[in-house]
Amino acid sequence: MFSYLLIGAGLFSSVLAHELAKQGKSCLVIDKRTHVAGNIYTENIDGINVHTYGAHIFHTDSKEIWDYVNQFAEFNRYTNCPVANYKGSLYNLPFNMNTFNKIWPDVLTPEQAKNRIGEQSCEMAGKVPCNLEEQAISLVGRDIYERLIKGYTEKQWGRSCSELPPEIIKRLPLRYIFDNNYFNDRFQGIPVGGYTQIIEKMLAGADIQLNTDYFSDKEYFDTCAEKIIFTGPIDCYFDYCLGELEYRSLRFETGIVPVQNYQGNAVINYTDAETPFTRIIEHKHFEPDNKESFNLPKTVVTREYPADWKIGDDPYYPVNDRRNSDLYNKYRKLAARERKVIFGGRLGMYKYFDMDDTIAAALELFKCLK
């Protein structure tokens, strides 16, 4: 009998397994995929580290979390500076002086940019934004909304910006300086050699069973351990008895292109409505110091296509609108009645967790485990 069964070998379970093993607790970690690391899995393809489930940039404002993750890998100094391609013109992201000057060539100073955005957002004056469209217009005005937000967001989330919660867009910084760094956090980087090694180190003290779906033999697994941590979708655990939570899914189309440098940047977003993918990732640019992979006469690129989710697909993004938040709260009440099972991670807690949030939540839970 194990002390803990951890369902899912992603970052959340792995942090817990690592901390539990240090306390001498025995852990069995299972995952239905054929590999560990969940969505932060990276694999080496022809000498290039590839983010199999989409671009993953580690960033955090917490010194504690940064020190924690640095125990497991050396991080490079990669700074995410995505570029947007709107109908053949390129714009810097996040929204900063470079973007403003490209959109409005007569805008040269922060004051001029503030005035122009003020003129464009006055249609929202005095109103509290109650959806993403209103939030975006009040933050950056209509020109930027139409070119850089509307098409991308509606593809990504599969519904109109006027039906999406305002919070989603608040993730993006808005700056009146010439700074293309996508994140405001103090610490940022990519682990040299990829993320999978981090998870392998975290799981070194645990037993691991891959290709194993908990629900294929739930009765057996329930007797394997004294406590269970479930990091799959919470509604799936309860067999969707209260209804399905909504997720967005993605389809990744990855290929090798026989050129040294395909697009000159790790991430280029396609913000028009017509292009069916949201972004193209060129993986070698995540490790610019890795001259060996950088100089190869080939490169690996991934097109990311947003997709509707249905049972059986990979659930990538929780859709945190009112209906889903209410439904999640009902599932949480059911979860609280489970004596042996604790729910965690991005799917178990139905939260849009970045990696640093995931680590923080796992460490928080660890403190509460007896």
What minimum distance in Å lies between the beta carbon of 252 and ligand FAD? 9
User: Residue 30 interacts with ligand UDP (CB under 6 A)?
Assistant: no
- Told to judge if 133 belongs to the known catalytic residues of this protein, a careful annotator would answer no
The 43-82 site mask, x for binding ligand UDP (CB under 6 A), equals: ----------------------------------------
Quick one: what does residue 319 bind among ligand FAD, ligand UDP, none, with the CB cut-off 5 to 8 Å set by partner type?
Answer: none
Q: Which of 145, 304, 316, 328 is catalytic?
A: 304
Interface residues toward ligand FAD, by CB under 6 A: 7-13, 30-33, 38-40, 53-58, 213-215, 231-232, 250, 316, 345-347, 353-356, 358
What minimum distance in Å lies between the beta carbon of 129 and ligand FAD? 25
What minimum distance in Å lies between the beta carbon of 31 and ligand FAD? 4
Q: How far apart are CA 3 and CA 16, in angstroms?
A: 12
- Told to judge if 346 belongs to the known catalytic residues of this protein, a careful annotator would answer no
**Closest residue by Cα to residue 68 from 191, 163, 184, 156:** 191
- Told to judge if 303 belongs to the known catalytic residues of this protein, a careful annotator would answer no
Quick one: what does residue 149 bind among ligand FAD, ligand UDP, none, with the CB cut-off 5 to 8 Å set by partner type?
Answer: ligand UDP
- Residue entry with tokens 């996040």: 94
User: Residue 149 interacts with ligand UDP (CB under 6 A)?
Assistant: yes
Q: How far apart are CA 309 and CA 315, in angstroms?
A: 7
Rg (CA), the chain: 22
DSSP string for residues in 303-341: EEEEEE--TTS---EE--SHHHHHHHHHHHHHHHH-SSE
C-beta neighbour count of 329 within 10 angstroms: 10
What minimum distance in Å lies between the beta carbon of 149 and ligand UDP? 4
Q: How far apart are CA 317 and CA 233, in angstroms?
A: 11
Quick one: what does residue 56 bind among ligand FAD, ligand UDP, none, with the CB cut-off 5 to 8 Å set by partner type?
Answer: ligand FAD
CA distance readout (Å), 255 to 34, 182, 271, 279, 301? 21, 26, 22, 14, 6
Q: How far apart are CA 269 and CA 164, in angstroms?
A: 20
User: Residue 153 interacts with ligand UDP (CB under 6 A)?
Assistant: yes
What minimum distance in Å lies between the beta carbon of 98 and ligand FAD? 21
Residues 250-289 that bind ligand UDP (CB under 6 A): 269, 271
C-beta neighbour count of 215 within 10 angstroms: 12
CB of 90 or CB of 204, closer to ligand UDP? 90
Q: What DSSP state is assigned to residue 168?
A: G
- Told to judge if 279 belongs to the known catalytic residues of this protein, a careful annotator would answer yes
Beta bridge partners of 299: 257
46 class by beta-carbon count within 10 Å (0-12 exposed, 13-18 middle, 19+ buried): exposed
CB of 82 or CB of 191, closer to ligand UDP? 82
Quick one: what does residue 2 bind among ligand UDP, ligand FAD, none, with the CB cut-off 5 to 8 Å set by partner type?
Answer: none
**Region binding ligand UDP by CB under 6 A among candidate stretches 116-124, 150-158, 198-206, 340-348:** 150-158
- Told to judge if 339 belongs to the known catalytic residues of this protein, a careful annotator would answer no
CA angle, 164 as apex, 162 and 165 as ends, to 5°? 115
Q: Which of 33, 116, 147, 279 is catalytic?
A: 279
- Told to judge if 304 belongs to the known catalytic residues of this protein, a careful annotator would answer yes
Q: Give me 290's structure tokens.
A: 């890795």
Per CB under 6 A, residues contacting ligand UDP are 84, 93, 148-149, 152-153, 156, 168-169, 171-172, 269, 271
Task: State the catalytic residues.
Answer: 171, 175, 248, 279, 304, 352, 354
